[in-house]
Amino acid sequence: MTDMLKTKDILDEKDKRLRLVSKEVTFPMEKEDIDHINEMIEYLTNSQIEEEAEKYDLRPGMGMAAIQLGIPKRYLTIVHEVEDGFDTYVIVNPKIISNSVEKIYVEEGEGCLSVNREVDGIVPRFARVTVEGYDTDGNQIRIRAREELAIAFQHEIDHLNGVMFYDHIDPKDPFKGQNEYRAI
């Protein structure tokens, strides 16, 4: 566990690389990228298990885009806590191909492993999205996500496009839309 990904390995919002638009991945994927994906999954899983998070000093997170490790390639991982463990998603070259009309927001505010501060405001997100992309072997996959998982996909895909979650918050009226969108 000595080469485990640590919180300090994740780029801070001040790092200009987070504003890069990541490049499409070609297949077969490089071994180094597969290793990074496995490290991301390990970090995200451990960060959501209280004892592990404390033991390794990990900030809790459920998603990570490659650019957050300084890798400008279009892949992301999401480790979503469910009743009996975790559902793990890895998607390469993801695209949102459809979305709901309904918008939602995270009531206590969206967070990000690259943002080490509280950010007040509403980040409007689609309540449901369908994401298409590829698995690590280059097979096409399609994921239908709703609620919290849909927000995670939108947040991570934003990273691949150089967008931070707080870019969606109206600076003049941070809680704009509070009555139009559903809080989750």
Number of CB atoms found within 10 A of residue 70's CB: 13
Return the half-sphere exposure (C-beta side, CA atoms, 13 A cut-off) of residue 99. 16
Residue 51's SS3 state is helix
With 0-12 / 13-18 / 19 or more C-beta atoms within 10 angstroms meaning exposed / middle / buried, residue 35 is: exposed
Which residues are known catalytic residues?
A: 156
CA dist 103 and 182 (Å) reads: 7
Identify whether the C-beta of residue 169 lies closer than 8 Å to the C-beta of residue 121.
yes
Residue 56's SS3 state is helix
Give Cβ neighbours of residue 55 (< 8 Å, ≥ 6 apart).
Answer: none
